[in-house]
Amino acid sequence: MHELAGRVQAVAYDTETGRLDVVSDLPEAGTQLRWSVPKLIATANKRVSGANFRALHVLAPAPVLAGPATAAADPAPQPTAPAAPE
């Protein structure tokens, strides 16, 4: 599992259901995660004090960011209105 270090990021955790959502930057990493779900859940519950992880949901691949989210610094492009006929 060491080969996944830096390739996977936790993006959400639902305390009511115990579901942890993760995203990887490559489809291959996501596939490897899916194969290892039971082991990952057991390891996470041992390492995180008071955790009650019960499910791991692997989201579609996306670039994994090393720092805080930069969405505010790079706003989505806004659609432009079509020009009115002359």
Of 57, 50, 69, nearest in space to 22 by CA = 57
**pLDDT for res 65:** 61
**pLDDT for res 19:** 94
Per-residue pLDDT of the chain (86 residues; tens, 9 = 90+): 566 777 788 899 998 999 999 888 888 888 888 888 999 899 889 988 888 999 999 888 866 565 554 444 444 444 444 455 55
Model pTM score:
0.62
Of 12, 55, 9, 58, nearest in space to 31 by CA = 58
**Domain spans, the chain:** 2-63
Of 29, 86, 18, 15, nearest in space to 62 by CA = 29
How large is the angle between the packed helices 27-35 and 37-47, nearest 10 degrees? 80
